[in-house]
Chains A and B, each alone.
Chain A
Amino acid sequence: MTNITLGEAGIIALLGYAVVFFGLILLMAVTVLLGKFFVATTKKTAAKEDAPAPAPAAAPVTAPGTAGDIKLYNVEPKTAAMLMAIVADKLQKPLNELRFISIKEVEE
């Protein structure tokens, strides 16, 4: 198609201009949709970030005297636990009101 009449050129020109509009309108639709998607995503993320943080779990209330570590010398933890339970029972005191510093096996 090298030699065309003015009428044919007019039709091609109109068609071309319409194609440019059509292409860019479709691209606009794609851009708008993309924008909406990303704006919605950003809002969701922002909403999550802005939401009040869950209150930290309440710290377990410990009875005074139960804090601290106990030192065990040649004693199994299971044995130590049993010994502490016996002592508490003998003293008629709850275990969490007693403080054990260390338990040591006495060798003969």
Chain B
Amino acid sequence: MNIGETLLKLWNDSGFAAMTWQNGVMLLIGCVLLYLAIVKKFEPLLLCGIAFGCILTNLPSAGMYHQGLWNSFMAEFLTDANGEYLLNELGEKIANPAYHNFGTILREGGLLDFFYIGVKTSIYPCLIFLGVGAMTDFGPLLSNPKSLLLGAAAQLGVFAAFLGAIALNALKGIIPGFEGFTALDAASIGIIGGADGPTAIFVTTKLAPHLLGAIAVAAYSYMALIPMIQPPFMKLLTTPEMRKVKMEQTRNVSKAEKIVFPIAVTIFVALLLPSTAPLIGCLMLGNLLKETGVTDRLSDTAQNALINIVTILLSTSVGATMVGSNFLTGQTLLIVILGVVAFILSTCGGLLSGVVMYHLTGGKVNPLIGSAGVSAVPMAARVANKEGQKANPSNFLLMHAMGPNVAGVIGSAIAAGFLLSVFGG
């Protein structure tokens, strides 16, 4: 036995020998994200998993996640190394046996590939919504239904970013490596403006799975950065007088009303946009479990154990999609820029509709609560409350802002349903 040969073989088999510069950069990005999660406490519950998934997937030779398997999973026909379709003797395209075949994934995949099946089948976003529903109190929305308008207005960024992504196609060929965004890519990028992680993942998985890593990271990063992104625009679009407005106490909502609401919303929204039924259905089921008063054990599981387990699986598998060769492109940079623009425009949409309401109600509505229409429960409502207290220390806007906040969740789900309907999700 030759010691030198053995050591060489060990080296060649190690991940170090197979390491590319992209892997190195992504390991660094993973560590930076972990720093942000642990030290800066930016959405740590999600960012920890995403960052660690990013590190795991960029360890060469570990075989935990196989981008190639998923590319093959999505390809209906076989192609050669240049991406040209393979043809049979009759000149027809050859069907890919791995197309939409989970058996291939289970047979040849690694641990993170198995986790990722839950993303691909949209199980995780829906289960997260179940937990979110079990944690949500729709009381403020029911006591002030006008909040729904603020939630609708705050979806402005979704459609503006969609438009922006298509407009950026003019840069095709100017930015190195940028081949333009398809309408499906643009729709997935736009949904970042909904400030709703599970919805963004749900839409992207169906329309543009190759962008999942960049979109999920952008969506969750901006949600974490809400306390920094929103306040400058709150001050820009409102006057100190508007921010000082103290809103009146909302009415009490009966238990029966809270029970009927999730049932009515599910039926109504799912009939309006059937493609959004999985998200809205799970959100409202979770809420119903909370409100019935006879399913406390299920509600407790949904808002604690279940959502925690799914968060681990979801965040790790989203992080796993951050494969260096896919992630480090000009396209990712554009997605990050479009994402923050979408977020800002959604905030502005909510604020401007708040200003309109302020004038229409003769100054009874504090327009700051409009900014909470960007979903991101409850962070956006807290920011509105904080800014309101800065203007008037005796002002408590939190409960008033929770109305548009949960309306934003429903609004972003409707926006997602629309995009899925149009682009064939």
Contacts and interface: CB of A to CB of B under 8 A. Distances in A.
Interface residue range, chain A: 20 to 34
A27 B149 CA distance: 10
A73 interface: no
Interface stretch (B89-97, B180-188, B354-362): B180-188
Chain A binding site: helix, strand, loop or mixed by DSSP? helix
Contacts of A12: 159, 162, 183, 422
A24 B412 CA distance: 11
A41 B254 CA distance: 10
Given A12-B422, A19-B414, A28 B148 contact: yes
Interface in A71-97: none
A23 B160 contact: no
Contact of B183 (A4, A27, A32, A42): A4
A9 B407 contact: no
Contacts of A23: 152, 269, 272-273, 414
B158 interface: yes
B146 interface: yes
Interface in A46-92: none
A45 to B, nearest CB: 10
Given A24-B411, A34-B260, A10 B163 contact: yes
Interface in B146-165: 146, 148-149, 151-153, 155-156, 158-160, 162-163
Contacts of B410: 24, 27
A20 B415 contact: yes
A31 B141 contact: yes
B257 interface: yes
B267 to A, nearest CB: 10
Interface string B183-223: 11010000000000000000000000000000000000000
A28 B166 contact: no
A24 B142 contact: no
Contact of A30 (B253, B254, B264): B264
B268 A30 contact: yes
Given A6-B166, A9-B163, A38-B254, A20 B422 contact: no
Given A1-B424, A24-B407, A31 B167 contact: no
B114 interface: no
B268 A34 contact: no
Interface of A: 1-6, 9-10, 12-17, 19-21, 23-28, 30-32, 34-35, 38-39, 41-42
9 contacts: A9-B167, A12-B422, A16-B162, A16-B422, A21-B152, A31-B141, A34-B142, A35-B143, A35-B145
Minimum-distance CB pairs A-B, first 5 = A13-B159, A9-B166, A31-B145, A24-B152, A38-B257
